[in-house]
Amino acid sequence: MLMSCNGYEKLKRSTDVNKKLVMANKYYDKKEYIHARELYESLLPVMKGTKNFEPMYFKYAMTNFHLKDYNSSSYHFMTYAKSYPNSPNTDEAEFLHAYSIYKMSPKITVMQSNTEKALEVLQRFVNNYPESKHVEEANSYIAIAQGKLEEKAALAGKLYYDINQYKAATVVYKNIQTDFPMSTRMDEYQYMIVKANYKFAKASIKEKQEERYINVLSAYQELVDSYPQSKFIKDAEKYFSLASTNIKKLKK
């Protein structure tokens, strides 16, 4: 092992470009990506402009990806795709650029800028390479990213509701319906709009209550008309009845 390590250190210091490239490719083929990446890195400046640079650079990007250095792999795959737009590896590079960003998507409770960026680049990949073998896979990641963004927004709506910021909660739930029209939770969001409108009306000054209770009736009617089979209708009826009764009282 010691001899092997000494041999590798000697190889790294070597000025024999061809030997280093051959050995880097051997390390790559054996999935020894740390050694391969180090050797490729040492070759990047001296091999730029040569015929061997393109395949070597793609493998270099791949080593970063396999080592889960997704920030680096994202950058290098993007650079490769821009530098070699006509390469047979370009669609692979663009997909892995997008997938690398997707892999950096954080858990739902923190900022989702990488998730938003992943969604953008994955969708662009699908649009630009509709015949790629990676389209189905990319679409699955798009669906997961959308789900994360939707869940993040839903948590924000619930937070506003829980801290009695009912108007803000209503705005958030309406925005979710606009941003995620294919969501399977649309009726749930509409139900929360009914509840938030009712709580907002109830907490309002008397002069504002009637018009705000009317918003409860409208939100309830939209729930019934748009989602007649929703499991939330029965609970929503309670707020509809309370709002109707309060409107009658206010009119008197």
How many whole angstroms separate alpha carbon 205 and alpha carbon 215? 15
* Mean pLDDT of the chain, nearest integer: 92
pLDDT computed for residue 178 by the predictor: 96
Taken in order 105, 108, 109, 114, is the CA torsion positive or negative? Answer: positive
Write down the pTM of the prediction. Answer: 0.82
Q: Are 114 and 104 in contact (CB under 8 A)?
A: yes
pLDDT computed for residue 151 by the predictor: 94
DSSP state of 103: H
Question: So where are the chain's domains?
Answer: 1-67, 77-155, 164-252
Structure tokens at 139: 């679409």
Taken in order 121, 122, 128, 129, is the CA torsion positive or negative? Answer: positive
Q: In CATH, which superfamily holds the domain spanning 164-252?
A: Tetratricopeptide repeat domain (1.25.40.10)
The pLDDT tens digits for 205-248 are 999 999 999 999 999 999 999 999 999 999 999 999 999 999 99
Structure tokens at 228: 């007649």
Q: How far is CA 229 from the centre of its chain?
A: 31
Residue entry with tokens 């309406």: 174
Count of Cβ atoms closer than 10 Å to residue 194 Cβ:
29
Mean pLDDT of 70-98: 96
Mean pLDDT of 58-69: 97
Structure tokens at 143: 């669906």
What is the secondary structure of 48-92 as a DSSP string? TTSTTHHHHHHHHHHHHHHTT-HHHHHHHHHHHHHH-TTSTTHHH
Q: Measured in Å, how far apart are the chain's first and last C-alpha atoms?
A: 93
pLDDT computed for residue 119 by the predictor: 93
- Does 106 have pLDDT greater than 90? no
pLDDT computed for residue 2 by the predictor: 39
How many whole angstroms separate alpha carbon 86 and alpha carbon 154? 43
pLDDT computed for residue 1 by the predictor: 42
Which range (56-60, 114-118, 131-135, 188-192) has the least confidence? 114-118
The pLDDT tens digits for 167-207 are 999 999 999 999 999 999 999 999 999 999 999 999 999 99
Type of residue found at 44: L
Q: Which band of pLDDT confidence, cut at 50, 70 and 90, is reported for residue 87?
A: very high
Can you give the C-alpha Rg of the chain in angstroms? 28
Burial of 41 (0-12, 13-18, 19+ CB in 10 A): middle
pLDDT computed for residue 153 by the predictor: 94
Share of the chain above pLDDT 70, in %: 96
The pLDDT tens digits for 5-44 are 667 777 877 778 889 999 999 999 999 999 999 999 999 9
Count of Cβ atoms closer than 10 Å to residue 204 Cβ:
16
How many whole angstroms separate alpha carbon 57 and alpha carbon 41? 9
